[in-house]
């Protein structure tokens, strides 16, 4: 069976990497990889670490790209890839412009589509924007739906997807995390880890920050920065912020936060360095989907700087807190979590057990 994995951004690559390696174990599969390179540097970092050499690289990223321009580029370039590779199955991931455009291109050529990380929903088209609609569209196109949690599967069933086209798998991000944590425990290190060790006082409380959601550009990011300035008045904390390369994020964050001694604005980290840093953190403030799924593995609380989340399993289980982008709420919650002693109970990660890729591959072998 010919399988083509297509992805384009950092989180898709992290979450598709374990699946790629699992598929490669079986000679019945002829596996190829197409990257749209919707992200460039941030994607290449992941490919290097997971040792994936793409068969096709569409190289579409443009500085400050528009959603329509990006969509048009991907859609037009996929004809060549699909006609050249002639896959029996295309696998896409999640909710990016890459996943939806690739799924649509495959559908136009009557090629079957499997959707990894299927069924996540807020049912609010504006939040997250444009991801909520992307995942609904990909869900309509897909023939097979790999839902990370029971809740995802339930959403799909309610939307009329047939039961036998859905598999609950856990999130492949946990597979990636297990693999990476094992490497780190066995002594794997990076230049970025060494630099962090030399430049940051790890005896202080570490607050790790990330953010990139389009619906927070402007006021939302300004409010977050104001909150970080307030939190940084406490000299016992070190705030480390690997700043996303989106120019709309960079502008606000560098303008507002560059001159503070205990706020460290750094380049996006390669994946193992980021995992290493998560483990050193007392608190994470982020609007990232992937980080909401990873932090429970290390029992690190996350303030989710969004108005909605499709990942409420972490909130229900007490790992994360939906705080929006209100400055005083972020400051109050950060102070509360930094000063309260969190019970380090061994609660299971609600997003997965590290075996998602195995389950997906088993399904493909036996049902497709
Ligand atoms: C994209 C996804 C979002 C995902 C996020 C993960 C869409 C619409 N958005 O958002 O769902 O959560 O990735 O990070 O699919 N850039 C670089 N180098 C890079 C990456 C980005 O310079 O390696 C800059 C470019 O100027 C680019 C801009 O960031 O035009 C925006 O990239 P884009 O992929 O459109 O949006 P993200 O905000 O990264
Ligand atoms: N990540 C990383 N380096 C960083 C920041 C994040 O490798 O500097 C990883 C993080 O561990 C997670 C993923 O990138 O697996 C999340 O990506 P992002 O927040 O860009 O996208 P989202 O998950 O919100 O779609």
Q: Where are the domains of the chain?
A: 2-170+353-367, 189-339
Question: What is the spatial distance between Cα 362 and Cα 366, in angstroms, rounded to a whole number?
Answer: 6
Burial (Cβ within 10 Å: 0-12, 13-18, ≥19) of residue 106: buried
Q: How far apart are CA 150 and CA 302, in angstroms?
A: 22
Name the CATH code of domain 2-170+353-367 (choices 3.40.50.300, 3.50.50.60, 3.40.50.720, 3.40.50.2000): 3.40.50.2000
CB burial class (10 A; 0-12, 13-18, 19+) of residue 86?
Answer: exposed
Q: What is the pLDDT at residue 55?
A: 98
pLDDT tens for each residue of 84-121 = 999 999 999 999 999 999 999 999 999 999 999 999 99
What distances in angstroms separate CA 24 from CA 20, 52, 251, one per listed residue?
6, 11, 41
pLDDT band at 340 (very low <50, low <70, confident <90, very high): confident
Q: Which residue ranges have their beta carbon within 6 Å of ligand 1? A: 9-11, 38-42, 61-65, 67, 70, 95-97, 130-131, 212, 245-247
Protein residue closest via CA to atom 24 of ligand 2: 288
Residue carrying the six token digits 């869900």: 139
Top CATH class of 189-339 equals: alpha beta
Q: Which residue has the tokens 């037009």?
A: 76
Confidence at residue 312, expressed as pLDDT on a 0 to 100 scale: 94
Strand partners, 242: 266
- According to the model, what pLDDT value does residue 278 have? 98
Which listed residue (10, 73, 121, 212) is catalytic?
212
pTM (2 decimals)?
A: 0.98
Judged by its nearest atom, the ligand closest to the C-alpha of residue 289 is: 2
Per-residue model confidence as pLDDT tens digits over 209-255:
999 999 999 999 999 999 999 999 999 999 999 999 999 999 999 99
Straight-line distance from the first to the last Cα atom of the chain, in angstroms, rounded to the nearest whole number:
9
Domains 2-170+353-367 and 189-339 are alike in CATH topology: yes
- Cβ(189)–Cβ(291) below 8 Å: no
Residue 341 has pLDDT above 70, yes or no: no
């Amino acid at each position: 069976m010919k399988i083509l994995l297509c992805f384009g951004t950092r989180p898709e690559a992290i979450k598709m990497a374990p699946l790629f390696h699992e598929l490669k174990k079986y000679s019945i599969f002829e596996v190829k990889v197409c990257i749209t390179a919707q992200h460039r540097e941030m994607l290449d970092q992941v490919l290097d670490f997971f040792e994936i050499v793409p068969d096709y690289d569409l190289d579409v990223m443009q500085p400050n790209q528009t959603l329509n321009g990006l969509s048009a580029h991907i859609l037009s370039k996929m004809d060549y890839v699909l006609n050249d590779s002639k896959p029996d199955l295309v696998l896409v991931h999640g909710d990016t412009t890459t996943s939806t455009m690739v799924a649509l291109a495959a559908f136009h050529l009557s090629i079957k589509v499997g959707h990894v990380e299927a069924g996540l929903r807020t049912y609010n088209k504006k939040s997250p924007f444009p991801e909520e609609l992307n995942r609904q569209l990909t869900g309509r196109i897909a023939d097979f739906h790999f839902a990370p949690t029971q809740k995802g599967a339930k959403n799909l069933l309610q939307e009329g997807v047939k039961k036998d086209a859905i598999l609950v798998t856990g999130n492949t991000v946990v597979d990636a995390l297990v693999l990476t944590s094992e490497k780190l425990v066995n002594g794997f290190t990076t230049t970025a880890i060494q630099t962090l060790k030399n430049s940051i006082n790890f005896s202080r409380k570490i607050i790790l920050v990330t953010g990139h959601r389009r619906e927070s550009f402007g006021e939302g990011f300004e409010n977050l920065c104001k909150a970080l300035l307030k939190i940084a008045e406490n000299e016992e904390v070190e705030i480390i912020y690997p700043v996303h390369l989106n120019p709309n994020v960079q502008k606000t964050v560098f303008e507002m936060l560059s001159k503070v001694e205990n706020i460290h604005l750094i380049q996006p980290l390669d994946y193992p360095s980021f995992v290493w840093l998560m483990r050193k953190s007392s608190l994470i403030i982020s609007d990232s989907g992937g980080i909401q799924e990873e932090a429970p593995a290390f029992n690190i609380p996350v303030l989710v700087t969004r108005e909605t989340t499709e990942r409420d399993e972490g909130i229900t289980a007490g790992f994360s807190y939906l705080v929006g982008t209100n400055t005083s709420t972020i400051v109050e919650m950060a102070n509360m979590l930094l000063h309260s002693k969190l019970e380090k109970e061994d609660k299971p990660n609600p997003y997965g057990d590290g075996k998602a890729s195995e389950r997906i591959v088993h399904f493909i072998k036996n049902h497709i």
